[in-house]
Amino acid sequence: MIITIKNESGENLFDINKINDEQKKQEATITVQKVGTLQVVIEALDFASRTHRVNLEQLILECDEARIEQTETTEKEDTTESQ
């Protein structure tokens, strides 16, 4: 299994199958699998988050009674809260 490590010093390629120490080879393989699993979870969470945001936006846009008219005071309060 060939992996690419990118860092400040550049890009390095490694072939995990060529590691002589079986324990290190197994540890490297497991770590690569964990990283792959985490990447899938990150992508799934990002997709779910974007979907929920769109659904919330559609839901709220239909609720005129919840709309707040923005004034200069409201905008200043929002700016202060986000800092």
Q: Higher pLDDT residue, 76 or 25?
A: 25
Length of the chain in terms of residues written: 83
pTM: 0.63
pLDDT at 76 over 80: no
Enumerate the domain spans of the chain: 21-64
Mean pLDDT value of segment 14-30:
97
Q: What is the pLDDT of residues 34-59, one digit of tens each?
A: 999 999 999 999 999 999 999 999 99
On average, the pLDDT of the chain sits at 90
Angle, CA of 66, 70 and 71, to the nearest 5°: 140
The number of C-alpha atoms within 13 Å of 33 and in the hemisphere containing its C-beta is 6
Confidence band for 73, pLDDT divided at 50, 70 and 90? low
